Amino acid sequence: MRAYKVAILLILSVLTGLARAELTIEITQGMDNPTPIAVVPMAWSGPALSEDVSGIVEADLRRSGQFRPIPKTDMLSFPRTEADVFYRDWRVLGSEYLVLSRLSQTPTGGYSLDYQLFDVLSQKKILQRNVTGGPNNLRDLAHAVSDAVYEAVTGIRGAFSTKMIYVEAFGNEKFRLMQSDADGARERLLLESRQPIMSPVWSPDGKQVAYVSFETGRPAIFRQVLATGERQQLTNFKGLNGAPAWSPDGKKLALVLSKDGNPEIYTLDIASGQFTRVTKHFSIDTEPSWMKDGKSLTFTSDRGGKPQIYQVTLASGRIERLTFEGDYNARARVSPDGKTLVMVHRHNGVFHIATQDIASGDLRILTETHLDESPSIAPNGAMLMYATKHQGKGILAAVSLDAGVKFRLPSKEGDVREPSWSPYY
C-alpha cells in the first residue's frame, strides 16, 4: 500500500498546469567584484549571420557571474588584429581582459573562427586558438570561445558548451522531454507523451538519457539514444519503477523498485539485464545517486523517522547516515570532485537547495526561493540547476556552489521542471 501511495504522490507532483516553455536568462545575482572584460564585436565580412557570435560569448561570460563585459557603446575602438590593440584605451575603460575574434567561411560551407585573449594589465596575449564547425554550428563556436576564455582566466573548465534536459507539459494531457543548450537555446524535442515523464538523467558519455515514463499505464524506466531516438524499456514491474541513475562507467543503472513489496534500491546491469537488490528495509528507500568511485551509492530513506541521506557500500552492504541537520534532506547529488553533496533541504518549513561537505558535515543553504527541488550539478562543479517557483510558475534556476552567482531560466508561457545537466562529451 505504501508503494502505491508513493506512486500516486509522484504522479501528482508532475500533474500541474504546464505550458510550452521557451527559456530565457534572467541574472539575479553576480559576484561582488566580477572581472571586467571587453568582447569586441567579431570581424566578419560576409552576409548577415543567423547568430551574434560575440554577443553569445559576452552573454555566457556575464551569466557565469565571474565577468562584467564592457558595453560596446563604451568601447573606444574595435580592433580586428593584435596590431590594432592599444592597451591604453582598454585600461581607461577599466577592462582587465580583451577578446578579439575573426570569422571566415570554409570551402565546405562551414565556418572557421580565430580568437585571441589579451591580458590588458600585463599587455600580452595569453590565448590564441581556432575552432571550426558546420553551417549550423555558430552557437557551438561561440560557446567554445567562452569555455576557453573562462578557463584561461579562472582556472576552471568552462561548461557553456554543455546541454541540459528537462520536462515540460501542456496541461495534464501532453508531456515533453526537451533538450537545450545550457543557456536554454536550441530546444529539441526528445519525447512527447500523453502520460507523465519524469526523472530524466544523462549517461556519462552524453549519448543516452534514461527517464521514467507512465506511457504503459504505470511507471517504467526507459533509455533513449539521442542521436537516433532509439528507445528501450528497461523495467516492467508492478508498483514503482523510478529514479534511474547511471553509474560512472555507464554500465549500470541504480533505480528504485517496489516489486518485492516495498520501495528499495536496486542496480541493473544494462548489458545482461540482471537486477541486484541493494537495500532491504521496511522504510522507503529512494533517489539513488552514485559516488564518484562507483563503489557506493547515496540514497534517501525515512528509516530514521524523517527523510535523510544515507550511503551504502555496494560490496559490503554497509549503510551510513550522512545528514543530520534539519528534519528533511533528500534528492542528493554528488559534486564531480566527490567532496560535496547537493540536496533538497527543509529549513523552517521551506524547501531550499543546500550543500554539505561530505568530510566535515558542514551544511550551507544556497537558495532563498521556495519549493526548490531536483538539483543537478554542472560537470565543472561550479554551478547547479534546479527547479523552483517564481511568480506562481515553475521555472528552472541556477546557483553557484558558493551561492555568489544566481540566475533564472523562466519560460514565457508555462512551467518547466526536472532539469538534468549534461556531462562533458
Predicted pLDDT of residue 406: 83
d(CA 308, CA 331) in angstroms, rounded, equals 9
Q: What pLDDT shows up at residue 354? A: 94
Confidence of residue 347 (pLDDT cuts 50, 70, 90): confident
Average pLDDT score over residue span 22-33:
62
Task: Return mean pLDDT, the chain.
Answer: 90
Give the dihedral sign, CA 27/332/377/341.
positive
What's the N-to-C CA distance of the chain in angstroms? Answer: 42
CATH number of 2-27+162-421: 2.120.10.30
- Cα 94 to Cα 154: distance, rounded to the nearest angstrom: 18
For residue 31, what pLDDT band results from cuts at 50, 70 and 90?
low
Higher pLDDT, 414 or 55: 55
Q: Mean per-residue pLDDT for 230-243?
A: 95
Q: Is the pLDDT score of 17 beyond 60?
A: no
Percent of the chain with pLDDT over 70: 91
Segment 379-419, tens digit of pLDDT: 999 999 999 887 777 788 889 888 778 888 866 665 788 99
190: which 3 cell numbers? 526528445
pLDDT at 27: 60
pLDDT of 173 reads 77
Question: Residue 4 has what pLDDT?
Answer: 33
349-369 pLDDT per residue, tens: 888 999 999 999 999 999 877
Three-class SS of 355-376 = EEECCCCCEEECCCCCCCEEEE
pLDDT of the residue at 395 = 85
- How confident is the model at residue 29, as a pLDDT? 62
Tell me where in the chain the CATH 2.120.10.30 domain(s) lie.
Answer: 2-27+162-421
- In sequence order, what DSSP letters do the residues of 225-293 get, joined into one string? ETTT--EEE----SS-EEEEEE-TTSSEEEEEE-TTSS-EEEEEETTTTEEEE----SS-EEEEEE-TT
CA angle 18, 20, 22 (to 5 degrees): 125
For residues 284 and 301, the answer to whether their CB atoms sit within 8 Å is yes
What is the DSSP code string of 92-121? HTT-SEEEEEEEEE-TTS-EEEEEEEEETT
- pLDDT single digits (tens) 95-144: 999 999 999 999 999 999 999 999 999 999 999 999 999 999 999 999 99
Indicate if the pLDDT at residue 5 is higher than 70. Answer: no
- Concatenated DSSP letters of 2-47: HHHHHHHHHHHHH-S-B----B--EEEE--SSPEEEEEPPPB--SS
pLDDT tens digits, residue range 287-334? 999 999 999 999 999 999 999 999 999 999 999 999 999 889 999 999
**In sequence order, what DSSP letters do the residues of 127-179 get, joined into one string?**
EEEEEEE-TT-HHHHHHHHHHHHHHHHHSS---TT-EEEEEEEEBTTEEEEEE
Residue 380 and residue 398 in contact, taking contact as beta carbons nearer than 8 Å: no
| Domain 33-154: homologous superfamily in CATH | TolB, N-terminal domain (3.40.50.10070)
Q: Where in the chain is the domain with CATH 3.40.50.10070?
A: 33-154
Which residue from 156, 231, 135 is spatially nearest to 192, judged by alpha carbons? 231
Whole-angstrom distance, CA of residue 75 vs CA of residue 392: 40
